[in-house]
């Protein structure tokens, strides 16, 4: 089991579509994080984005997006802007329940975003193997966000206040 989603065309060509563990299923609709992230990056105020699915009692999963603001951009405007862009591009079911601006996204030494780690830390779950993480301190803002939400008695899938 390699964990990749792939499609085989009629002519026998294979296309890798993404990781199956990254796929987000909202109200029965499957979507890769790349589509959500492309919509988040569309406005120019976001330098990087990572979309994850979190448990949701009604939809099965809900979308939460973590973004890094471009230099010189007011981060307070980004959550509403990104939510509107995603809703406009992909539809209301995919409107994020939370958009969180953080200084950096956790990545491997090769620059791959570790969505699995973001999701686990945000949900307060063990993050698993972190040996490929280039800088463990980048998880601190996500841990603080999760701790603040837990202290306030908020479910991680509840709409974010920011």
Distance CA 98, CA 118 (A): 13
Closest CA to 144 of 96, 95, 103, 97: 103
Relative orientation angle of helices 140-151 and 115-122, to the nearest 10 degrees:
30
* Strand, helix or coil for residue 137: helix
Write down the catalytic residue from 4, 21, 140, 162: 21
21 noted as active-site residue:
yes
What are the residue numbers of the active site?
21
């Amino acid at each position: 089991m390699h964990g990749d989603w792939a499609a085989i065309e009629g002519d026998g060509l294979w296309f890798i579509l993404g990781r199956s563990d990254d796929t987000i299923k909202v109200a029965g609709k499957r979507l890769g994080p790349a589509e959500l992230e492309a919509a988040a990056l569309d406005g120019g105020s976001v330098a990087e984005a990572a979309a994850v699915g979190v448990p949701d009692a009604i939809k099965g999963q809900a979308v939460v997006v973590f973004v890094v603001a471009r230099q010189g951009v007011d981060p307070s405007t980004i959550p509403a802007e990104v939510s509107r862009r995603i809703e406009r591009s992909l539809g209301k079911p995919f409107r994020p329940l939370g958009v969180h601006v953080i200084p950096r996204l956790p990545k491997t030494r090769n620059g791959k975003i570790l969505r699995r780690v973001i999701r686990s830390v945000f949900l307060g779950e063990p993050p698993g193997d972190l040996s490929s993480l280039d800088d463990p301190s980048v998880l601190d803002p996500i841990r603080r966000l999760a701790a603040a939400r837990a202290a306030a008695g908020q479910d991680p899938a509840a709409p974010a206040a920011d």
